[in-house]
Amino acid sequence: MRNLAPCTLEPGPRFNVFSGDNGQGKTNVLETVYVVGTLRSFRTSRLAELIGFEEDEAYIGARVARGGLERVYELTLGERSRKVRLDGKTVRPISKYFGDFNVVLFAPEDLRIPKASPSDRRRFVDRAVFNWRPGFLPAAQSYEKVLKNRNAVLRQLAEAGKGAAGAGDLLAVYDDQLVDYGAEIVTARHQFLEAMRPRFRDAFERITRAGLEADLDYLCGEEVAEVLTQGAEVADVASCLRERLQASRARDLARGATNVGPHRDDLGFVFNGRSAQAFASQGQLRALVLAWKTAEMELLGAAHGDPPVLLLDDVSSELDETRNEYLFDFIRSSDSQCFITTTHRRHVLLDADRVDFSVSKGLISQST
């Protein structure tokens, strides 16, 4: 995996701390755990980039004990191939791979999410929704494929100078698919945020202890938002999306791109009834993200019966003393197995149940 030397790692059941200078491979350790759990990377869309220099393939295997059972997850990556096995058998369909090995990542980039781009926030939300409901992934992947194809057709029509009159039959199939997959995505995101909200508000109060209100908002357009507020089913959301897509057809053709749908939606952080992006301080924004991660961990533990594995990538150096203390108080109170990277061990406020590792030039060694 990237610069990591081949190794067999035996982590402790609670807190595993990987320390070393920048660029030595600490984050690669967390990426390895994340990839074998999700079959995706949090750093790149091309898994082939994980293959080490001058190597033809990369292999990751993990033994996961849960509920008294042990399962073996395996992933072999080639330049243009991916082989996935569960308990020694090829997984078909791939959805069977997910559900029992849940991983939550908390990285420094997450602390900047409230002021990041809408596309960054969508990825942030979707990563969390996938952990909560693994079946979300196929719909999201299918939507992206259909969207790409529809946009390609729109560009061709725009270049050919064809208007709406000549586009109907060509776009109809893509429209149907886009609406179906889009409705699944919108509904899943909305349901996830509704489940997160009470935990998020409570966590923010525990962090700040200042009587300040925090909330989450799914920004998806007035028509869709109204349907969601009424407790609509997927079919109702699909009907609304279809109307919006048809109303936007002329604009789509003029611009050569699809202008409505979940790929245009956004996550809003709300602070004291206003947009946190516009009115919250940097410290308050970081408290909001910390509250999100706390709520996400609690929600996943309740949903799956076991707490997820937590990957903490040098976040402590980005937090002030008070919020860092809250973070580790929360980690100690949870039952999660944690993988923590740091450049300075003093940032990691854990004394018991801790195993320390050093990472240098891709080599991992247990510290004494």
Angstrom distance (rounded) from CA 329 to CA 352: 12
Q: Residue 285 has what pLDDT?
A: 93
Residue with tokens 């982590």: 11
Judged by average pLDDT, the poorest of 91-100, 137-146, 286-295, 323-332 is: 91-100
CATH number of 124-282, picked from 1.20.210.10, 1.20.1050.90, 3.30.450.20, 1.10.630.10 = 1.20.1050.90
**Which residues, 6 or more positions from 277, have their beta carbon under 8 angstroms from its beta carbon?**
114, 115, 268, 269, 285
Look over the chain and give the mean of its residue pLDDT values, rounded to a whole number. Answer: 91
Q: Residue 165 has what pLDDT?
A: 53
Q: Which CATH class is domain 1-102+306-368?
A: alpha beta
* pTM for the structure as a whole: 0.91
Going from N- to C-terminal start, the domains of the chain cover: 1-102+306-368, 124-282
Long-range contacts of 91-96 (CB under 8 A, 24+ apart): 94/39, 95/134, 95/135, 95/137, 95/138
Share of the chain above pLDDT 70, in %: 97
Average pLDDT over residues 21-38: 92
- pLDDT winner (highest mean) among 54-63, 290-299, 359-368: 290-299
Average pLDDT over residues 38-55: 86
Share of the chain above pLDDT 90, in %: 68
pLDDT band at residue 1 under the 50/70/90 scheme: low
| 196-251 pLDDT, tens digit each | 999 999 999 999 988 889 999 999 988 999 999 887 689 999 999 999 999 998 89
Q: CB neighbours (10 Å) of residue 318?
A: 17
- What are the C-alpha distances in Å from 118 to residues 51, 73, 140, 196, 294? 30, 33, 16, 19, 22
Phi-psi region of 274 (alpha: psi -120 to 50; beta: other; left: phi over 0): beta
Angstrom distance (rounded) from CA 186 to CA 136: 10
